[in-house]
Structure 1
Amino acid sequence: MRSRTNNIFLGIDWILVLFYFILISFGWVNIYASTVSEESFELINFSTEYGKQLIWIGLSIPLILLTLMFDAKFYEKYASLMFLGSLASLAGLFIFGKNINGATSWYNLGIFSLQPSEFAKAATALAMAKLVSDKHFNLKKLNTQLQAFVVLFIPAILITLQPDPGSALVYGAFIFVLYREGLPIYYISLGFIALFLFIATLYFGLQNTLIGTLILFGVVLLYFYFFRKKALKRGKLKIFGLYLISAMYVFSVNIIFNNVFEQRHRDRFNILLGKTTDIKSIGYNTNQSITTIASGGFSGTGFLQGERTQGDFVPEQQTDYIFTTVGEEWGFVGTSLLILAFVLFTLRIIFIAERQKSKFSRVYGYSIAAIFFFHFAINIGMVIGILPTIGIPLPFFSYGGSGLWGFTLLLFIFIRLDANRTYEW
């Protein structure tokens, strides 16, 4: 066992650090390509978006150093306090927040705006790690399951009310963390069933979905009747009860879809499901992003040679649609390497999480792995048109200081926790 020293770099995982700097560097290159003016290809201009992003990247260095200066026990000891602080910052938006594009998600701090939901993810991951690592916590018990869900639902609800439902969806990634720590698998199964029934109802209609669900449950009953009669006697009421709940849920889908979802969300689902075609208004971004990525071909058009990128065909290309710049200028090769880098980055986090001696560190590691994977998978799926547009940034790539700092904190808190794994506490 090693004792703690004043060297903040001792024991840190340099592979993760290397991944971080590779991703933010390539991300900035693509922000530059998507925002630089055709008239003036200035490398440094701090009045531009790529110039401002460079400032945020530079300011990330002292943030990293500050994060590494604190001992691992600090993050565990004050996890609950940081979580409460993040909830207060989210709630304060409804009084002091700045409305941008219809969402009150930012604080106006004069020379820049700050989005607290980006930092709430790290605070929630710490709070979840603190809760689950308690020696009396058992995810097989209903009361402890409810405690975990409350930790997730409170920030998700506050973010949804801004309204920013896309960012709130990220908290669903924690369900896989809880499963790793003992949550029964039927929660995940019920989630997938609910998602399947939701999409099926929208696509096939209420009546057809109810008939299909009835046939499916009939097949289940036949299976139990012929192969597991004893189990059928004990569980037939549960099977019938599950069908009734499923039927009630199917009936509620149209009500939720037509009365809770906003029109823009309904339009995006209808376009995704092929029920409507709209490439001029609500479906414009997706259509342009697909066309832009396809124009890159196998090897891409080359850096600053993307006609569609330089022509501003894709709105907000430097933020949620930054992947289209990679697709056009770096082609299939570039996008494949980027996806591979994110996959290896996530797997590295999981590998490190598994070697932790502290349960707190392991749960936190799995939490950030789930968050990073959710972000990059949903963002890319959205950009290539296989998922509805929900406004989730691509980590280390999408323009924005709050997002960059939020993801930096997520990662380097874990790097600090991992560096301390062999120290005497």
Structure 2
Amino acid sequence: MRDSTIQRGLFYNVDWLTVLLYVALCTIGWFNIHSAVYDPQHKYIVDFDTNYGKQFIYLMSSVVLAIFILLLDNRFFVAFASIFYVITIILLIAVLVVGRNVGGNQAWIPLGSFRLQPSEFAKVTTCILLARYLSGTNIRITEWKSFFVAAGIIALPMLLIMLQPDTGSTLVFCSLIFVLYREGLSPYFLVVIALLITLFILTLLFNQIYLVIMIIALGALLIWIFRRYRGVMLMLVIGIAISIGFIFSVKYLYQNVLKPHQKERIDILLGLTTDLRKKGYNVNQSKIAIGSGKLWGKGYLQGTQTKYSFVPEQSTDFIFCTVGEEWGFAGSVVVIGLYLFLLLRIIVIAERQRSPFSRIYAYGVASVIFFHVIINIGMTIGLVPVIGIPLPYISYGGSSLWSFTILLFVLIKLDSNRMGTISPN
């Protein structure tokens, strides 16, 4: 498929600033992986027997993948949205049967020496199909039918990934609520979600009976204040009933659904227990590593916490520790600044699209990257539980780098022809 953009040249109207940010983050990632797992017997950064050598292969293949995406017609992504989504669903089912269990998660399909993680690509295909559906004619997210279909598109891969079980990748899909909000979903949904999260934390911190009494007392006060408004009173009564039911369901969920290591991570985060040698070891060592970098860091390849493997998963989930230890506060600010700049750039790209499909997809890209960055960096400094998701473009891994490359360059391709429109019908 070829369009006028191809005829004018492969790189016509490409947003080079976004490409530059992508290259900068990938380069930073490669050098930090080299530093995190550096082996004196394999001094060269391009050594295919090491993770940093393999990451170089992933980087070069990502460049090829990016160029290939730029060669495609914009309509390609709409036309094959459903097919790509179905393929990832099939892969998510297949991984439950033939997948390899690593770290308690059966999330990888072995392909020789390489392991494919379908959940990473499911984020891309879900964003594309969601954009295709929401940009359809007569689709209004404020209507229940449209809302439930959109929610189903998001929920199906979530349920399959949860069966692996991979809690971190499952929660990433929750970030797509921001896409629905941008397309007209009532802000009350976000308020309700925030209240439920707060209530969940309070239930773990305080006695259930005390919380129920407080909610009933507060509810009674609000009902008395709004006693002249029957509609408001009814909503308050329903809200009180749901809140009380939620409080009692939290304990059941916590005790019978969450795995022991997940409960321990939450307990450590909330200060309910202290375990610096076992479940709290990763986060404690991570904070030590980042703190030891001080303002300017210890220097490239000079991180002692990294070199002596005090921080587990230091090239993947905890790669930000290497940034903090060797580049210090200044380097950490630069990396976070690059992510912030990238996210702001994606929002700018989203708002200048004439095609609803492109705009909706752009917000999906922003939501997924934002969630990954906030949660990954947050868990390395002890602000959120450790749920094991990579830092985009920086963490080691082929599936992660390829999926985030596809995610971003599909947007860059759509933006290169932003003056056109794409019809999903």
TM-score range, shorter chain: over 0.9
Could you tell me which residue of structure 2 aligns to residue 141 of structure 1?
Answer: 143
Confirm or deny: 8 A CA contact 2:5 2:416 kept in the other structure.
Answer: no
The Cα offsets for residues 331-351 of structure 1, whole Å up to 9 and x where unpaired, read as: 110111111110110010010
3-state secondary structure, aligned to 1:319: coil
Could you tell me which residue of structure 2 aligns to residue 281 of structure 1?
Answer: 278
Matches within 5 A, 1:409-424: 409-423=406-420
Could you tell me which residue of structure 2 aligns to residue 20 of structure 1?
Answer: 22
Matches within 5 A, 1:10-409: 10-38=12-40, 41-225=43-227, 229=228, 232-409=229-406
Confirm or deny: 8 A CA contact 1:28 1:53 kept in the other structure.
Answer: yes
Count of residue correspondences: 419
2:324 and 2:5 map into 1 onto residues whose CA distance is 46
Kindly state the Cα deviation for residue 284 of structure 1 after the two structures are TM-superposed: 0.5
2:232 and 2:206 map into 1 onto residues whose CA distance is 30
1:221 and 1:243 map into 2 onto residues whose CA distance is 10
The Cα offsets for residues 146-183 of structure 1, whole Å up to 9 and x where unpaired, read as: 00100000000001101111101000010011000011
Change (3 A) 1:237 1:332: same
Confirm or deny: 8 A CA contact 2:294 2:328 kept in the other structure.
Answer: yes
3-state secondary structure, aligned to 1:54: helix
Confirm or deny: 8 A CA contact 2:361 2:411 kept in the other structure.
Answer: yes
1:286 and 1:39 map into 2 onto residues whose CA distance is 29
1:349 and 1:43 map into 2 onto residues whose CA distance is 32
Confirm or deny: 8 A CA contact 2:92 2:161 kept in the other structure.
Answer: yes
Deviates more, 1:79-88 or 1:211-220: 211-220
Change (3 A) 1:219 1:302: farther
The Cα offsets for residues 229-286 of structure 1, whole Å up to 9 and x where unpaired, read as: 3xx3332122111101110110111010000000001101111110100001111000
2:391 and 2:259 map into 1 onto residues whose CA distance is 24
Change (3 A) 1:238 1:166: same
Give the share of equivalent positions with the same residue, in percent.
Answer: 42
2:13 and 2:421 map into 1 onto residues whose CA distance is 13
2:140 and 2:158 map into 1 onto residues whose CA distance is 23
Change (3 A) 1:41 1:397: same
3-state secondary structure, aligned to 1:5: helix
3-state secondary structure, aligned to 2:6: coil
1:219 and 1:80 map into 2 onto residues whose CA distance is 50
1:176 and 1:328 map into 2 onto residues whose CA distance is 33
1:343 and 1:4 map into 2 onto residues whose CA distance is 29
* Letter of the 1:69 counterpart: L
Give the TM-score of the pair, scaled to structure 1: 0.96
The Cα offsets for residues 359-408 of structure 1, whole Å up to 9 and x where unpaired, read as: 00000000000000000001011110010000111001111000000000
Confirm or deny: 8 A CA contact 2:375 2:384 kept in the other structure.
Answer: yes
* Letter of the 2:204 counterpart: L
1:213 and 1:318 map into 2 onto residues whose CA distance is 45
Could you tell me which residue of structure 2 aligns to residue 5 of structure 1?
Answer: 6
Give the TM-score of the pair, scaled to structure 2: 0.96
2:349 and 2:25 map into 1 onto residues whose CA distance is 19
* Letter of the 1:375 counterpart: H
Confirm or deny: 8 A CA contact 1:105 1:115 kept in the other structure.
Answer: yes
3-state secondary structure, aligned to 2:226: helix
- Which sections of structure 1, spanning at least 5 residues, go unmatched? none
3-state secondary structure, aligned to 2:101: strand
Confirm or deny: 8 A CA contact 2:5 2:12 kept in the other structure.
Answer: no
Confirm or deny: 8 A CA contact 1:4 1:423 kept in the other structure.
Answer: no
Deviates more, 1:49-58 or 1:94-103: 94-103
Confirm or deny: 8 A CA contact 1:3 1:423 kept in the other structure.
Answer: no
Confirm or deny: 8 A CA contact 2:133 2:150 kept in the other structure.
Answer: yes
3-state secondary structure, aligned to 1:393: coil
The Cα offsets for residues 21-77 of structure 1, whole Å up to 9 and x where unpaired, read as: 000001111111000124553332111111111110011111111111111111011
The Cα offsets for residues 93-139 of structure 1, whole Å up to 9 and x where unpaired, read as: 12222222221111111131111111111100000000100111011
Confirm or deny: 8 A CA contact 1:36 1:42 kept in the other structure.
Answer: no
3-state secondary structure, aligned to 1:106: strand
